[in-house]
């Protein structure tokens, strides 16, 4: 079975900036989450159980989102380097990243409005917006390439691009 290669589809400018910004912002989120969890555990003045529980759950969520983003970026970079980065794989990864960081960005805005604490917007706002914007840019680029691939395959008469069932 032959391995599909995609040597001339992607340009470095399409994804390099997004990868760098996503990895840096995710690393900042990881460092902040680890630092705040260490400070929370060392704190001699404990708040109620519910507030520390909520803080730790939100830190775990941010850490999981950040680790998944870094893993997806590393997989994309490895496939890009080997010229095996499929537009469909890129579309799936960018869709997952867009949904996760979009939901988190909305949660940041809602929590800042409900709690009336703009400090959350000062740190979380720009970082989550950068992650959301880079994921959306990758989503748009990969969707364009998937559409081009399907259109050229359907014009060439290939059965690969046409669904096997009626929609």
- Give the pTM: 0.78
Q: Can you give the residue ranges of every domain in the chain?
A: 13-155
- Reading the chain (167 residues) residue by residue, the pLDDT tens digits are 445 656 556 666 778 899 999 999 999 999 988 888 777 766 655 555 555 555 677 788 889 999 999 999 999 999 888 878 888 888 999 999 999 999 999 988 888 888 776 776 788 889 999 999 999 999 998 898 888 877 776 666 655 544 554 44
Secondary structure (H, E, C), the chain: CCCCCCCCCCCHHHHHHHHHHHHHHHHHHHHHHHHHHHHHHHCCCCCCHHHHHHHHHHHHHHHHHHHHHHHHHHHHHHHHHCCCCCHHHHHHHHHHHHHHHHHHHHHHHHHHHHHCCCHHHHHHHHHHHHHHHHHHHHHHHHHHHHHHHHHHHHHCCCCCCCCCCCC
């Amino acid at each position: 079975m032959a391995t599909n290669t995609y040597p001339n589809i992607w340009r470095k400018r399409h994804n390099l900036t997004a990868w760098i910004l996503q990895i840096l912002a995710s690393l900042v989120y990881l460092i902040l989450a680890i630092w705040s969890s260490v400070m929370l555990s060392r704190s001699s003045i404990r708040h109620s159980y519910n507030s520390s529980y909520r803080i730790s759950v939100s830190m775990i969520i941010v850490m999981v989102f950040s680790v998944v983003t870094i893993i997806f970026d590393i997989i994309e970079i490895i496939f890009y380097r080997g010229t095996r980065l499929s537009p469909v794989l890129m579309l799936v990864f960018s869709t997952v990243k867009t949904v996760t960081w979009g939901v988190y960005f909305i949660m940041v805005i809602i929590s800042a409005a409900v709690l009336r604490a703009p400090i959350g917007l000062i740190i979380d706002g720009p970082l989550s917006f950068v992650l959301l914007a880079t994921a959306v840019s990758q989503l748009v680029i990969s969707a364009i390439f998937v559409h081009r691939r399907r259109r050229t395959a359907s014009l060439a008469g290939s059965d690969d691009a046409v669904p096997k069932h009626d929609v």
